[in-house]
Structure 1
Amino acid sequence: MLEPPPTTSSPLMTPLSDSNRAAPALALTEIVTWDATTLSRQLHDRAVSCREVMSAYLDHIDAANPLVNAIVSRRERAALLAEADAADRELSAGRSRGWMHGFPQAIKDLSDARGLPTTQGSPLLVGPIAVEDSLMAARMRAAGALFIGKTNTPEFGLGSQSSNPVFGA
């Protein structure tokens, strides 16, 4: 197991809760507690692999998402691990796409990301798959982000709670 970076002060156990119930504490691998700067440094220093990071985040999502319904469109684990392996090969060859190289990322279901649906939480927009990235997604991808899927949103982004007729709360 990796030693936590000295700048990390996040706990290894994080309780998940909502206003109605307290969920059991989830055991986190230390990787998912690192801030973005630490994660980037650890990846670029090759202290941890992109595959290890992807696997840790997918495991955490698998444990937490049934309780919080945050990720509403997720790509297949095998495809994501293959992308992480490709990102590892790039780093091994001395190539980095940017500070987010190998970062698992999920963007709000309001912006297009190539290959993923963009419903904006509305039944009116269910179906089509984005053929290109929005400007934000393109910049994140150019910096090395690996898109795992989309996060829940209020319908058309109009509201303060992520409840909508497509994916619920």
Structure 2
Amino acid sequence: MRWNEIQDIPCSIARTLSVIGDRWTLLVIREAFLGVRRFEQFQKRLQITRHRLSDRLNKLVESGVLRKALYQGSPARYEYRLTRKGMDLYPVILAMAGWGDKYMAGDAGPPVEYVHLGCGKKMTATLTCSECGEPVDAKSVKPMLGSGLRALTKSADE
């Protein structure tokens, strides 16, 4: 299977990777969460080639993660804004930051700390069960066949 066919795999992780599974793409998304909106800002902060940045931004717009908003009419200039779909990636970014803080930060500690605006305290993101609120990890979750894969399996049997 080729990388450009990964979105066709009946797996939510593979399909997600088809949109954000590239290091530059994830860094663009990180910068968008840090308030970067304009092409030149992304380019300056990431030190990425213009061609590669343009490619990543276009893919994120096509995927509905970012939207272009005109901020200057002549010449036409756009900024990039996170959509609802893009905002829903925030837990992914926080989880990656948490893993990096734990295993990659070094002796000096994490490069960025997160403060919960609700209580004003530094926080660490944790994954909890949507039903009971208990923390979850790999040992406390059992993956099961979902309706999407059952439907696919059922249609293949017919």
Q: TM (normalized to structure 1)? A: 0.22
- Ranked by relative contact order (alpha carbons within 8 Å, sequence separation 6 or more), the top structure is 1
TM-score with structure 2 setting the length: 0.23
More helix by share: 2
